[in-house]
Amino acid sequence: MITGKNYIGNRLSGIGQKTYRTFNPLLNIENSHEFVEASIEEINEAVFLASDAYIEYNQKSGSEKAAFLHAIADAILALDDDLIRTYCSESGLPEGRAKGERGRTIGQLRAFADLLDEGSWVDATIETAIPDRTPAPKPDLRKMLVPLGPVVVFGASNFPLAFSTAGGDTAAALAAGCPVIVKSHPMHAGTGELVASAIIKAAESTGMPNGVFSNLNSSGIEVGTQLVQHPQVKAVGFTGSIKGGRALFDLASQREVPIPVFAEMGSINPVVLLPEALQNRAETLAKTYAGSITVGSGQFCTKPGLLVGIKSDALTNFVNSLSQEIIKMEPSCMLHPNIIGAYEKNKQSAIGHEGLVVAADYGDEVVGVNYARQAVVTVDGKTFLGDTKLHQEIFGPLSMVVQCEDASELEQIISNLEGQLTGTIISESNEISEYPRVIAALQNRVGRIIFNGVPTGVEVCAAMQHGGPYPASTDSRFTAVGVQSIKRWVRPFSYQNWPDELLPNELKHDNPLGINRLVNGTIMK
């Protein structure tokens, strides 16, 4: 049941003055539930509870935390149709997507549970003492990863489940041993409260300390700002706009004690179209890319927003085919009037830019006011290079094709891009070797490089890198997807000459957990 209140640890509370409602973009009306924004007292209480809970939560074993994560997954599944209905009414996304995203959320929680059950993720590294070493004895040193402390997670507008309340950031932080305070996304506060109720239920049933999780409502920047500035918060996870992520990053750096902000932000995900591939399969590629640009109404951080090729008849054919294909796609509803408002504004500003040509712009009637009209625009390489405004993400179903004079201009364009989550090469197998400088430039700009595919569709697995050079993310050394994302919420910690019985099990001489450890340079159990 949705109450509109905040979860301050295990307790529902709604003492604040400011209220708001979520919006159904399909029906273009407000939803009925009213949400109460968290007050400063509630924010403080949530953080103090989290700080207290950190001590006790930290002492839980990996398998106890794994049981907690499995219980969250089970409790989310038990929300059943209530959750799916609320998700759809707050996002305009179809039921299939809601169920798919729920599956991904459950899968992430269980993957972290498996990681904890296995246990080797803590990177236990042991160097045993050499007391008679000369000129100085070598001490016994044992290092492992330990949790940072309470962390704040900002829910993402475009993933109400998989990157929000119990999404990847929360699952990774809880797995690491960090209590989590979620700053719920105002567009899907009801979905957030339902999922929060599942987390609280799981925490109670598995004996986790009160405060291991809190969920705070907010419809403006105040709650997030206060959380990031709170001295007892130790790190922040964020998915959203560059403007929002950068503001939080700056705020965190200006604290008396700065903290890391792991923000996953905008990306235009360049796709390099090599000539022979275009010559041989322009139409097939156009169909594939029309799908990738419009899937989820273009509201994915991996949407291919930039396609780059060398001027030729084949590139012209590709642009014509892409234009025809994209017009055939059925427009779909965007997440919120604010999101489609930003899309329309950015689209019109791009279309009005001198030198940009509209190749396709869906012109037929759409079934509702919040349905986005997809578009393709083209521009020459020189114009693109001359204005970095053209390099910015347009969140929604629009893509830009840059027509370069030659391979050297293509390389220059890639080199001049900001950091990106992904880069894609469309190539025949024999031609890629002719473009080593383009490939090197692309590798230097992105976190993940794709051969003959599309960037949308992010596999959740250990080898995934979802994060790239700034501004794709604030720290390109980490991924926001897959179990390796746990590394954002920990720090290395060494014990020197510490008595064996006082060491954590991960570092004890007999290796009671049977985990993989690096002992004197050799990996062993």
Catalytic residues: 264, 301
Pair of tokens at residue 442: 């692309």
Sequence letter at residue 24: N
* Helix H or strand E segment including 231: none
Sequence letter at residue 475: D
Least distance in angstroms from the C-beta of 202 to ligand NAP? 24
Question: Which residues are near ligand NAP by CB under 6 A?
Answer: 154, 156-158, 183, 185-186, 218-221, 224-225, 239-241, 244, 247-248, 265-267, 301, 339, 342, 395
Name which of 26 and 156 has its Cβ closer to ligand NAP. Answer: 156
Sequence letter at residue 416: N
Name which of 70 and 336 has its Cβ closer to ligand NAP. Answer: 336
Pair of tokens at residue 480: 């926001």
Least distance in angstroms from the C-beta of 88 to ligand NAP? 18
Name which of 94 and 296 has its Cβ closer to ligand NAP. Answer: 296
| Tokens 């991924």, residue located | 479
Any residues with CB less than 8 A from the CB of 447 and at least 6 apart, and which?
Answer: 420, 421, 422, 465, 466, 467, 468, 469, 472, 473, 476, 479
Pair of tokens at residue 154: 């900002």
Which neighbouring-strand residues pair with 307? 271, 401
Least distance in angstroms from the C-beta of 520 to ligand NAP? 44
Asked if the peptide bond before residue 147 counts as cis, ω within 30 degrees of 0, the response is no
| Tokens 């595919």, residue located | 453
Least distance in angstroms from the C-beta of 433 to ligand NAP? 33
Least distance in angstroms from the C-beta of 190 to ligand NAP? 15
Name which of 300 and 318 has its Cβ closer to ligand NAP. Answer: 300
Dihedral of alpha carbons 268, 346, 335, 202, sign: positive
Name which of 24 and 403 has its Cβ closer to ligand NAP. Answer: 24
Rounded distance between C-alpha atoms, residue 110 and residue 66, angstroms: 8
| Tokens 């780059």, residue located | 308
Phi and psi at 390, nearest 5°, equal -70, -10
Name which of 240 and 504 has its Cβ closer to ligand NAP. Answer: 240
Least distance in angstroms from the C-beta of 264 to ligand NAP? 6
Residue whose C-alpha is closest to residue 248's, from 256, 259, 257, 400: 259
